[in-house]
Structure 1
């Protein structure tokens, strides 16, 4: 359960997003975006599991989330 949303592949699997959804806008059905009740504390860090552009801070997550494959470390 903890790793269900860790990484793009697992996140898509958890949300039942398939290749049929490629290119669809996120602000229209079948998707639905809703505001959070409270502002989210986001953190970012270097990408993991890749060899090219690994130093770019393009990895995002919720601060303190246990649903990350690896903890975020500062970029």
Structure 2
């Protein structure tokens, strides 16, 4: 398993960058981090509420898989 301690510093850095550039949508910020030619351009235009919906959907799917594995 990967070290969970790596998550908080990354999230904090992302938060600081986003707070200093609040006009960016999350997808735009991510596109600035990676090379645009390597990313799906759809993420650049994805609204934050849609991004959150996708995160919630992913969490639900992962929880369902975990529940199945626990049975």
TM-score by length of 1: 0.27
Look at both structures and tell me which one has the larger radius of gyration over its CA atoms. Answer: 2
Which one has the bigger helix percentage?
2
Which one has the bigger strand percentage?
1
Higher relative contact order (CA 8 A, sep 6+): 1
TM-score by length of 2: 0.28
